[in-house]
C-alpha cells in the first residue's frame, strides 16, 4: 500500500475527531459517520462530516483503479497509441483511448 492509499483514511479519521471535539464542546451527541443512531442529533455539522467521509470512502476505493489506468496510459504512450501533452494525465487519456478503441470495428482491443 503506497502513501496515497492511506490519505483518505487519515482524512476520515481527522473528520471523526473533529466531530468528537465539537460534540465535547457543545454537548450535542451526533452519530458517528457511517452509522445510524436514531437517538443522536443529525445537525448540519454531522451531515457535512458524514457526506465528506462518504466522498473520501469513494475516493479511497477509486485510488487503485486510478493507479491502474495511469499505468495503462504509460504503456499506451510507450506503444505510441497516445501522446500526452502538458496538463493531461495518463488515466484520462487511457480511458479516452479505451472508449475510442471500443467503438471502432477492427480495433486494437479486438485484435489483441
- Residue boundaries of the structural domains of the chain: 3-111
DSSP symbols for 60-105: HHHHHHHHHHHHHHHHHHHTTS----TT--HHHHHHHHHHHHHHST
Cα(62)–Cα(50) distance, integer angstroms: 19
Mean pLDDT of the region 57-65: 95
Residue (of 110, 11, 109) closest to 57 by Cα position: 11
Q: 59-86 b/e with 16+ CB inside 10 Å = b?
A: ebeebeeeeebbebbbebeeeeebeeee
Tell me the pLDDT band of 107, cut-offs 50, 70 and 90.
low
Quote the pLDDT of residue 21: 97
Mean pLDDT of the region 79-104: 93
Mean pLDDT of the region 2-15: 82
Quote the pLDDT of residue 1: 47
Q: What is the mean pLDDT of the chain?
A: 90
pTM: 0.73
Count the neighbouring beta carbons within 10 Å of the beta carbon of residue 43: 13
Instruction: Decide if pLDDT at 4 tops 80.
Output: no
Amino acid at each position: 500500500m503506497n502513501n496515497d492509499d492511506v490519505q483518505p483514511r487519515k482524512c476520515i479519521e481527522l473528520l471523526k475527531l473533529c466531530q468528537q471535539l465539537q460534540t465535547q464542546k457543545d454537548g450535542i451527541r451526533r452519530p458517528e459517520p457511517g452509522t445510524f443512531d436514531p437517538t443522536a442529533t443529525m445537525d448540519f455539522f454531522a451531515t457535512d462530516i458524514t457526506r465528506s467521509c462518504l466522498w473520501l470512502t469513494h475516493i479511497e476505493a477509486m485510488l487503485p483503479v486510478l493507479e491502474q489506468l495511469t499505468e495503462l496510459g504509460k504503456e499506451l504512450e510507450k506503444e505510441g497509441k497516445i501522446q500526452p501533452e502538458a496538463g493531461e494525465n495518463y488515466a484520462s487519456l487511457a480511458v479516452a483511448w479505451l472508449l475510442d478503441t471500443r467503438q471502432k470495428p477492427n480495433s486494437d482491443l479486438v485484435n489483441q
